[in-house]
Amino acid sequence: MVTRETSPVDTSVLEDGLGDSEDSSDVDEEEELFQPPQTECVASPQYDDEEGYDVTALQPAIRKSGTKVEPSTLRASHVLGKGAFCEVRANLCSKSEHLVAVKRARTDVVANMHALAERDLRIESMMLASLKPHINIVSYIGWGEDAYGFFIVLDLVPETFHARFSKWQAESQRLPNEAVSRRILTKCWPARCFRRRWDALWARRLGAARDLASALAHLHSNSVMFRDLKPSNLGFRGDILILFDFGLAKVFTGDDGAFVPTPETGSARFMAPEVAKGEKYDHSCDIYSFGLMLWQISRLRMPFVDYNEAIHFQTVVQGGARPKLPARWQSDLKYLISISWAEERKRRPTAIRAYDTLVTILESYGAPRSIDSIRSEIKSC
């Protein structure tokens, strides 16, 4: 079976960091207009995969639950980003006169991969169309089909996670080293001033982590596993974090919710060990990835940055290694991260518990408990 992650074009599954291949900054400036497919855009004959998705069966479901968008109402503009198999472009929608994001299968991959990418897109379309809207999940506008194939139309997320992450890093570098200075600078005026700025930066970052927990809580309470949580699937509108890319999302059922997985589901760096090892997994695989994301947001550094795929598998997946938790971090934060990436999936917290913990931590940084309506919305699902 072929999965998105085993594709020959996805040569660096560990490369999801700053300046990685999915970053929009890598996009060729010359390539302004949408090019016709170089490969034949064939309908996949039988892409029933091991998880029982039948593309031919998906099509009517999409037609029922999503809004059809007329291709003539869209005018393609610049590339927003590329994944291993899909390309996302800003398009001007003549009806709303707004820029929207249009996601299609990439045309520069082999025909077989193009067909698989379209299959994932149809799944993504169906998933987004059936999900109740949530402030931290990309809004789905509809789907369409033209000479180049199937596409989905989404709200445009203005800022990538990578761009915001770089801003956080720059902001942190402009301040004195927190670990040293908090101890040295006590009581004096600059200390109070710096403390306010450190706290404000922590609050902004942990606010993003809280948004992520809220998005996951929404998905899990609707029996959806995201399965591909990583920086390149996140963005920002203002200070609100937005989760996108539902190509690998899947509905889970059953008592313990465990599945025999697709072995390479999600990107290696953020992938739960049980998924990487091809063992049974459930929605707690998203919590493992969340734990690593929370560490990255707190540490302002990519986890396992020096590890190649083989070393990662040996030390993290098989050896159980995790990034270090600095002693100076709040104990609640350290505890939340360490249980989120626990080896034993039953020990990991639910997304709603992670959300509650982050709201409490945020209060200690002066953030108000203003978004509790989100929690009640999650609970009512």
Ligand X SMILES: Nc1ncnc2c1ncn2[C@@H]1O[C@H](COP(=O)(O)OP(=O)(O)O)[C@@H](O)[C@H]1O
Min dist CB 205 to ligand X, Å, is 20
Count the alpha carbons within 13 Å of 141 in the hemisphere toward its beta carbon. Answer: 23
Check binding of 24 to ligand X (CB under 6 A).
yes
| Residue 374's binding partner out of Mg ion, ligand X, none, with CB under 5 to 8 Å set by partner kind | none
Asked if 247 touches ligand X (CB under 6 A), the answer is yes
Q: Among ligand X, Mg ion, none, what does residue 85 contact (CB within 5–8 Å per kind)?
A: ligand X
What does 156 bind: ligand X, Mg ion, none (CB cut-off 5 to 8 Å by kind)?
ligand X
271 binds, among ligand X, Mg ion, none (CB under 5 to 8 A by kind): none
Regarding 80 and contact with ligand X (CB under 6 A), the answer is: yes
Closest-CA residue to 209 (of 364, 355, 360, 363): 355
Beta carbon nearer to Mg ion, 272 or 336: 272
The reply on whether position 323 binds ligand X by CB under 6 A is: no
Closest approach, Cβ 143 to ligand X, in A, equals 14
Closest C-alpha to 81, from 109, 108, 101, 111: 101
Q: Which does residue 142 touch among ligand X, Mg ion, none (CB within 5 to 8 A, set by kind)?
A: none
Nearer to ligand X, 101 or 352 (CB): 101
* C-beta of 141 vs 378, nearer to ligand X: 141
Phi, psi angles (nearest 5°) of residue 216: -65, -40
Look up residue 180 and give its two tokens: 């040293």
Per-residue tokens: 207: 């606010």
Stretch that binds ligand X, among 47-55, 84-92, 285-293, 316-324 (CB under 6 A): 84-92
Q: Are 118 and 103 in contact (CB under 8 A)?
A: no
Q: Which of 16, 23, 245, 264 binds Mg ion (CB under 5 A)?
A: 245
- Which one of residues 233, 289, 298, 357 is an interface residue with Mg ion (CB under 5 A)? 233
Distance CA 141, CA 244 (A): 13
Q: Per CB under 5 A, does 291 bind Mg ion?
A: no
The answer to the question of residue 16 lying near Mg ion (CB under 5 A) is no
Helix (H) or strand (E) holding 194: helix 189-221
**Residue placing its CB nearer to ligand X in the complex, 116 or 359:** 116
Strands 149-155 and 98-105: antiparallel
Alpha-carbon gap, residue 21 to 156, rounded angstroms: 20
**Sign of the torsion formed by the C-alpha atoms of 210, 177, 18 and 23:** positive
Q: List the structure tokens of 166.
A: 């770089």
Q: Which of 7, 125, 214, 232 binds ligand X (CB under 6 A)?
A: 232
Residue 86 found at the interface with ligand X (CB under 6 A): yes
- For residue 62, give both structure tokens: 């999409």
Measure the CA dihedral 259/348/166/374, to 10°: 90
By CB under 5 A, which span of 43-51, 92-100, 189-197, 238-246 interacts with Mg ion? Answer: 238-246
C-alpha 207, offset from chain centre:
16
Under the criterion CB under 5 A, does residue 120 sit at the interface with Mg ion? no
Cα dist. 202→165, 167, 299 in Å?
12, 13, 10
Nearest distance from residue 321's CB to ligand X, in Å?
27
Q: Which is nearer to Mg ion, 286 or 359 (CB)?
A: 286
Smaller CB distance to ligand X: residue 155 or 199? 155
Is there a contact between 143 and 66 (Cβ–Cβ < 8 Å)? yes
The nearer residue to ligand X, 244 or 304, going by C-beta atoms, is 244
**Residue 376 parent element (H or E):** helix 372-380
- How many alpha carbons lie under 13 Å from residue 279 in its C-beta half-sphere? 11
Of the listed pieces 35-43, 148-156, 195-203, 361-369, which binds ligand X according to CB under 6 A? 148-156
DSSP secondary structure code for residue 51 in this structure: T
- Distant-in-sequence, close-in-space partners of 216: CB < 8 Å, separation ≥ 6: 226, 229, 243, 286, 287, 290, 351, 354
| Near ligand X by CB under 6 A: residue from 83, 144, 273, 323 | 83
Q: Report the interface residues with Mg ion, using CB under 5 A.
A: 83, 233, 245
Q: Report the interface residues with ligand X, using CB under 6 A.
A: 22, 24, 80-86, 88, 101, 103, 138, 154-157, 160, 232-233, 235, 244-245, 247
